[in-house]
A = this chain, B = another copy of it.
Amino acid sequence: KVDGDRLWDTIMETAKIGGTPKGGICRLTLTDLDKQVRHWFRDACEAAGCEVTIDEIGNMFARRPGKDPTLPPIAMGSHLDTQPTGGKYDGIIGVLAGLEVLRTLNDSGYETNAPLEVINWTNEEGSRFAPAMLASGVFAGVFPPSYAYERTDREGKTFLEELERIGFKGEKKAGSHKFGAFFELHIEQGPILEEEEKTIGIVTGVQGMRWYEVTVTGTDSHAGSTPMRMRKDALLGASRMIAAVHEIGWAHAPDGVATVGLIESKPNSRNVIPGEVFFTVDMRHPDDAALAKMEADLRSVLFDIAMPLQLEHTIDRVWDSPAVKFDPACIDAVRQAAAAENEPAREIVSGAGHDAAYISRVAPTAMIFVPCEKGLSHNELEKAEPEHVIAGANVLLRAVLQMDAQ
Contact assessment for A189 and B225 in the assembled complex, using a CB-CB cutoff below 8 Å: yes
In the bound complex, CA of A376 to CA of B126 (Å): 39
Bound form: Cα–Cα A272–B247 in Å = 17
Partner of A126, one of B219, B266, B271: B271
Q: Indicate the member of A242, A282, A378 with the most B CB atoms within 10 Å.
A: A378
Q: By the criterion CB–CB under 8 Å, are A221 and B257 in contact? A: no
Q: Is the CB of B269 within 8 A of A378?
A: yes
- CB atoms of A282 and B190 under 8 A apart: no
Are A130 and B270 in contact, CB atoms less than 8 angstroms apart? yes
Among A211, A271, A284, max chain B CB count under 10 A is at A271
Contact among B207, B224, B263 for A189, CB-based, below 8 A: B224
Q: Which residues 346-403 in A have Cβ within 8 Å of B in the complex?
A: 350-353, 375-380
Is B270 in contact with A353, judged by CB distance below 8 angstroms? no
On whether the beta carbons of A222 and B191 are closer than 8 Å, the reply is: no
The smallest C-beta distance from A380 to any residue of chain B, in angstroms, reads: 8
Binary flags per residue of A272-287, CB closer than 8 Å to B gives 1, else 0: 1111000010101000
A46 to B125, CA, bound (A): 58
Contacts known (A85-B272, A253-B229, A268-B263); A219 close to B379, Cβ less than 8 A: yes
**Chain A facing B: main interface SS:** loop
- Inter-chain contacts of A236 with B (CB < 8 A): 242-243, 246, 260
| Chain A, interface residues (CB within 8 Å), range | 35 or more
> What residue of chain B has the Cβ atom nearest to residue A132's Cβ?
B271
Known: A83-B272, A269-B83, A271-B259. A224 touches B207 (CB 8 A): yes
* CB of A94 within 8 Å of the partner chain: no
Q: Are B379 and A230 in contact (CB under 8 A)?
A: no
CB proximity of A287 to chain B, nearest CB, Å = 15
Evaluate contact between B254 and A235: CB separation under 8 angstroms: no
**Pair A223/B265 contact, Cβ less than 8 Å:** no
**Cα–Cα distance between A235 and B83 once the two chains are bound (Å):** 18
| A190, A221, A246, A259, most chain B CB atoms within 10 A | A259
Residue of B nearest to A258 (CB): B228
Q: Are B375 and A225 closer than 8 Å at their CB atoms?
A: yes
Q: List 10 A-B contacts (CB under 8 A).
A: A84-B266, A84-B268, A132-B271, A189-B225, A209-B224, A224-B350, A235-B242, A236-B242, A261-B274, A275-B379
Can you list the 7 inter-chain pairs with the closest CB atoms, starting with the nearest?
A: A225-B351, A190-B225, A223-B259, A239-B242, A84-B267, A239-B239, A189-B225
